[in-house]
Structure 1
Amino acid sequence: MTSPASPAQAARLMKLATYASVSVAAVLILAKTMAYWQTSSVSILASLVDSLMDSGASLLNLFAVRYALEPADRQHRFGHGKAESIAALAQSAFIIVSGVLLLVEATRRLLNPEPIGAFGVGLAVMLLTIAATAVLLLFQGYVIRRTQSAAIRADALHYRTDLLTNSGVVVALLLAQFGWPGTDPLFAIGAALYILWSARSIMGSAFNELVDRELPDSQRARIIAIAEGHPEVRGVHDLRTRSAGRIDFVEMHLELDGSMPLVKAHRISDEVEAAVIAAMPGADVVIHQDPAGIVEVQQDEQLQ
């Protein structure tokens, strides 16, 4: 299992991942433009349009990640991590646009078929595309495991889509070469629909982070178990969680012995905080101490 990166390592890896993404997108755009010019294949056009959208998304990602990595300041006390979610939301918009444009062109080509030329060039370019995308995805996967970056995860999602669609382009070219020309626009239509469907996952994840959705129930249960695992803690209530980029924010109230000295209560809170951060590296944890039984007292007062 890959260990989480330190903040400095995470920043360096995320920047490298964005530079790699932009570089690969630029190379693939040039190669696919040449291939489409020589073949007139609508499935290659589909891949080219997707790469153009990828390049725009990757450039947006580059600037968003650089901004998200800026430390917290007086105007942004919780940091700049949500810039990653904004970038991911924008990327989903890019993907939707590319899917719609591709669907329109593929439908037109299905109704008005055109022959495919320079088969060898088109096949070679698509195989190069698949190899470059696979290498990039391997690196992005490593970065995601080390950093949990939302923006890099969104970037990797549409490159995984590219890998599938590019593999399909190769199949479409081969079938067209062997007497099945209709597979070229049909595949492009299928690729467009898949691109539109994949945008839903990116958009949903980014939206949840922007509206401060709670962390998954399994993580919340783990936090409570860690806190209640301390021998001096009598209970936990008012647990609130959210994420912003690479940082998880955790707020909770610990119930402690009401006669306990404040200095001891503070020490226990520090110990619980350290335990939570050990389980969730990089988390921002805020703990409030309450006397044990306070929840029941408040509930009784509300009933009176």
Structure 2
Amino acid sequence: MSTVNNQITQNTDYQLWVKRSGYLTLTIALTILLLKFSAVMATNSSSVLASFTDASMDLLVSVLNFAVLRYALRPADDNHGFGHGKAEAVMALLQAAFLTGAALLLLTQTFSRFNQNEAVQQLEFGMWITVLCALLTLTLVLAQRWIIRRTGSLAVKADLLHYRSDLLMNLLVLAALFLASQNFLWVDNLVAVLICGYLLYSAFELAKEALQHLLDEQLPADQLLRIEQTLLTQAEILAVEQLKTRQAGPDVFIQLRLVLQDDLSLLAAHAIVDQAERQLMALYKQAEVIIHAEPYSESELKHKAMECAE
């Protein structure tokens, strides 16, 4: 009963902080968008326009993210026995598509302005707005990093990718506006191209991680090793076989066989399996564990030993 209560508490905690992250992200994203819009109108800068385009995509994606999270956080039901966590990965994949489209569109606009040499205006105003946006973004990034450490949410990670890149963008925009004030107008367009490149890279990394969840990829090798080593601390466990894992949102699914001595009683084997489940749930806050107790005489371990003897 204590294990069930602990899982309920952890799930409630996850939902609470992910929702708080959504509210905070929407508030700051809208504020930054309005600030950058005023800078675009005042400066006529390609780099500021690139930063504004990215902020627009961030806000759109954050709104969609918030809506999808409400679905992803629903508990398992009759039609979704493993929960709705994969909705986070679907949203992350859509975010990658949005980022790619925005970057390509912005890249086209930037190249069209390379030969126009339009004057950049009110540079000091643009720089102050950029500094303010950078401070707001830094506040959001620090909050999101803390929430990710607490929840491991893929959706919040996806948001963090955007806003962490915004910090770099704001620094680049500041440099571009300063150099534009020194009559290096071409740098303004170059910075816009660099921002597009970073957006494309971020979209690729985000899509790669989302596909890992959607295609039920195994947990990383170091985590598989940690699972095996943790279980083998029980002296009665001879080996861990057929270890299969996957992740959907905050939920980690683990399936395996424990090789045990043939002469153990059913009660003794049951106690060992129960202890193994507790060990795995201590490693992962929200784990679904399926363990099969395998007699040594029927295990792969015995077959391998016989092959070596031959």
| TM-score where L is the length of structure 1 | 0.94
Deviation beyond 3 Å, 4+ runs, structure 1: 296-301
Are 1:37 and 2:41 matched, yes or no?
Answer: yes
Once the two structures are superposed, the pairs formed by residues 124-163 of structure 1 within 5 Å of their partners are: 124-163=128-167
| Partner secondary structure for residue 259 of structure 1 | coil
Q: What percentage of residue pairs aligned between the two structures are identical? A: 37
**What residue is the counterpart of 1:288 in the other structure?**
292
Equivalent in 61, 65, 68 of residue 64 of structure 1: 68
> What amino acid sits opposite 2:120 in the alignment?
I
**What residue is the counterpart of 1:13 in the other structure?**
17
**What residue is the counterpart of 1:244 in the other structure?**
248
Cα deviation code 1:190-228 (max 9, x no counterpart): 111111112111110001110000001111011111112
Bigger Cα displacement from structure 2, 255-264 vs 91-100:
255-264
Are 1:278 and 2:282 matched, yes or no?
Answer: yes
**Does the 8 Å contact 1:255/1:293 carry over to 2?**
no
**What residue is the counterpart of 2:221 in the other structure?**
217
1:233 is displaced (CA, Å) by 1.2
> What amino acid sits opposite 1:239 in the alignment?
L
Are 1:84 and 2:88 matched, yes or no?
Answer: yes
1:78 is displaced (CA, Å) by 0.7
**What residue is the counterpart of 1:227 in the other structure?**
231
**What residue is the counterpart of 2:4 in the other structure?**
none
| Partner secondary structure for residue 239 of structure 1 | strand
| Partner secondary structure for residue 229 of structure 1 | coil
1:33 is displaced (CA, Å) by 1.2
| Partner secondary structure for residue 182 of structure 1 | helix
> What amino acid sits opposite 1:290 in the alignment?
E
Are 1:166 and 2:170 matched, yes or no?
Answer: yes
| Unmatched tracts of structure 2, length 5 or more | 1-8
- The Cα RMSD (Å) is 1.6
> What amino acid sits opposite 2:189 in the alignment?
P
Are 1:26 and 2:30 matched, yes or no?
Answer: yes
> What amino acid sits opposite 2:117 in the alignment?
P
Q: Distance in 2 between matches of 1:237 and 1:140?
A: 37
Q: Distance in 1 between matches of 2:83 and 2:18?
A: 16
Bigger Cα displacement from structure 2, 108-117 vs 288-297:
288-297
Q: Distance in 1 between matches of 2:185 and 2:249?
A: 46
| TM-score where L is the length of structure 2 | 0.92
| Partner secondary structure for residue 111 of structure 1 | coil
| Unmatched tracts of structure 1, length 5 or more | none
**Does the 8 Å contact 1:236/1:254 carry over to 2?**
yes
Cα deviation code 1:228-282 (max 9, x no counterpart): 2112112110110010011111100011122322222111100011011112222
Q: Distance in 2 between matches of 1:206 and 1:57?
A: 15
Bigger Cα displacement from structure 2, 200-209 vs 259-268:
259-268
Q: Distance in 2 between matches of 1:56 and 1:172?
A: 26
Aligned length: 297
